[in-house]
Amino acid sequence: ILGLGDIGSQAGAPVMTGKAILISGLADLPSIGLILEETNPAKIVRILKQILPQSGGSVNLEDFSSPHSFEVERLLQAETDIPVFDDDQWGTGIVVAAALMNGVKLLGMDLGAVKIHFQGAGAGAIGVALILAAAGVNSGHIQMADSQGLIYDGRKFGMNEEKAHLATIINSECRQGSW
């Protein structure tokens, strides 16, 4: 659960139930909140493939830890024919990008000149950083710190595949040190 850590799948039930209610009510799309007692990405994908419709529908992933969220999303996208969307990465990224674009416009600034720092390097932060770069933020002006300090290209400790990929895109000055 974002901000609370791994406190169990049942703690996420109200979040998923609430989102299903909003989607059903506001978008008039039948929705259910499905809570899984599983943390292994391959097993999660296997379970979901067994219950997903053959066509139609979509999957809105929520509150998976990084880097598992990326793995589950990629596997489901590759192995199913329905849209798969990780809300922590892309939903948050879209909202942050819209807010930043409007804020920069109101202040008469250039989006490409903005410098951005992320405190934390989970799935949400990585997804937001990628969307901001795609929206026009100079990716070299983005820096991100995790519990080990700033992420930079070539850092060896505390990295995973997602952070290593992101490190090749952001922090063009290869700043190092603590957050």
pLDDT tens-digit series, residues 65-108: 777 888 888 898 898 888 888 887 888 889 999 999 999 999 99
CB 58 within 8 A of CB 84: yes
- 19 belongs to the catalytic site: yes
pLDDT value at position 159?
95
pLDDT value at position 123?
86
Cα–Cα dist 11/67, whole Å: 20
**What is the torsional sign of CA 124, 157, 6, 81?**
positive
Is the pLDDT at 148 greater than 90? The verdict is yes
In the block, residue with structure tokens 């929206």? 135
Mean pLDDT for the stretch of residues 42-68: 80
Mean pLDDT for the stretch of residues 59-68: 79
Cα–Cα dist 95/26, whole Å: 18
CA dihedral 12, 15, 20, 21 (to 10 degrees): 140
What's the one-letter identity of residue 5?
Answer: G
CB 108 within 8 A of CB 150: no
The model's pTM? 0.80
pLDDT value at position 20?
86
